[in-house]
Structure 1
Amino acid sequence: MAGASRKISAASARAHTRKAKQCSLFRFPSGLLKKISVVLFVGLLAWAYQAIKPPPPKICGSPDGPPITAPRIKLSDGRHLAYKEIGVPKDKAKYKIIFVHGFDSCRHHAIPISPEVVEELGIYVLSFDRAGYGESDPNPKRTVKSIALDIEELADQLGLGSKFYVIGFSMGGQLIWTCLKYIPHRLAGAALVAPVINYWWPSLPANLSKEAYQQQHPQDQWAIRVAHYAPWLTYWWNTQKWFPASSVIHQNPDVFSRQDKDLLSKLSTGKESMVHDVRQQGEFESLHRDMMISFGTWNFDPVDLENPFSNNEGSVHLWMGDEDRLVPISLQRYIAGKLPWIHYHELPGSGHIFPLIPGMSDTIVRSLLLGDK
């Protein structure tokens, strides 16, 4: 029995040795395993970097970029701004207006003032492509302040005089706050039409801001949250396919009110095609950077602004539709209530694109230029 036990033990030992050798064939040396882990980690980082890194813009006039078709000025920092002049010649104009277009728009989308009102009042309108849109060069250093300085330099180079009016729609309307902050001495009057609101402006009550924020589509809540807290992920978030990105960028009709949809359905499709102009230099420098600025951290709070026309030499108007599904009416009412010098106009039953209602743009412009006259 003892001999048999020794034989079994020896056999077991040999079997264990064979298994150990077989396992060793599939076991990486510790040094090699570390190297593979480092390579995989570096590869993952490289993939992530490429995924979040936006492509370079296709600058107008460059070998691979779109052609230059619009008149442009060259700014002091070397960038170009493309513009469009509408109305009576500026040397004969009684009123000179600079229009600031909204999100996913361009110089062609100026407020539609009727020819009759243009001629009656002697109105000259200067509409321009904001940085990165249309044929205006991108501005990688774009800030809340830079748009106001672009407007001031544009006015100076085109000889609009010491004072001019500004009108902005949607995200362009939000940017009129920057004109009131940084170039109030250049303004004859201002109109903010359905201006976008930043949910993180300090003066907004937390409960009111949270309630308004939660009324947005869930995918838009996430897109806005990314633009605010992780702006470096904005490009990736709005181009990846795993989660729903901004519904506004993807032109989801659900973001519009019933009136908005009705207005859009009546627009003539035979008018000049200008949609391709808007994003032709790339979505990052136009749409995504717009979101980063609009919902980022501002260095001033609009509610803290003082009346730039304390002597009634001009006026500021804010226009809103009470069924706007893109801009919360509750926050707009709060801001207007805190700034008694703002002439607040609220339109019952109107959505975000109410300026397209026949005659509405004329009403907005008359109110700005003539007041109650």
Structure 2
Amino acid sequence: MAGPDLGVESVDSNDIITVLASEGIEFLLSGEGKVSLSSTEGKMICLFFSANWCRPCRTFTPQLVQIYNSLIKTGRMIEIIFISFDRDETGFGEHFKSMPWLAVPFNVDLHRRLSDHYHVDHIPSFIPLGLDGKSIEEDAIGLIEDYGASAFPFTSQRREELKAMDNAKRQGGKLEELLANEGRNHVISSSGREILVSELVGKTIGLYFAAHWCPPCRAFTAQLIEAYNKLVATRNQCFEIIFVSTDRDHQEFDLSLSNMPWLAIPYEDKARQDLCRIFDIKGIPALVLLGSDGKTISTNGRAIISSYGAMAFPFTESRTTEIEAALKEEGDALPRQVKDLKHEHILKLDMAKAYVCDSCKKLGRFWAFSCDVCDYDLHPTCVEEKQETYLEDPVMGLV
């Protein structure tokens, strides 16, 4: 099948069809058999370097099939040519049978030369070519994974346009553009009830990125439920959380949502991936907080809830400053250490995110009197000392 060993670099034209013809390739393969090289004329050509033995390739290929079919259906003039990194023709055939596009006939030496020509050093790689045959994007895999068919025609200019659109959604304050999707204008509850996104406009929103398989998520979910329930009870429905699942399958998603009192983006909806990209979510759990105007207040809601709980509402910087000032004032009014009648050791003033008081057995936050010798903590109001009486702080209270 291969012609003289000219080497791809020796061909003057960058056009892939000219390159293949110079190597003695007379046809391409489709699922139905052989097709002429000229069948790609007038189309944008993209080269797909992949292999059946490569797990990331097998994972990415179905996504690419869906995107390809979508582009063809909408009349886009595109053709993909599969260039195999398989070790033998059996592997090539097994991989190619899942693809609706064309392929270069299996030839290990030619495929190596083509990968060198297009600087492919890993797979899967997706190389879109311009009309002059030169690659217009070194590898568009990430672009496709992020944006799907919207990434067409896979140029750097299109990448910048899409990033600008993401930024507009992140900063624009339009909740319906952010949470709704084509064909869906609602979010769901754990019971399957549909709630229109328009009903959430004007509320402070938490976008909660988490998964059932993630132990830190399960721990933080408990904290978030506590804060959520307090806010729902005291803030007259001014706050709502939307679960954005990163679960591995629908069953895990159902398990996650069954333990949550708030709403969710449907698992099958691509808005989940879009929101992860728009807010640059690199790890979970993550909580993004949106103000009542729909604009981003904080992308570090996890730290805010962990530190201050429900009292941080409406989660603005000014509210955090107010809490810190009140805590400092409260701490300044307390002694540095006390001798409690119920405990043998000196107790020192300490700051803790959360603790259980060993006297009243209730959860406490922030200021505590703690023992350096043993695991013993008291609310300031639970200290029994002749010299001092501690009252509950009227601003901060006890949590």
* TM tier relative to shorter chain: under 0.3
Report the TM-score when normalising by structure 1.
0.21
Q: More strand per residue: 1 or 2?
A: 2
Report the TM-score when normalising by structure 2.
0.20
Q: More helix per residue: 1 or 2?
A: 1
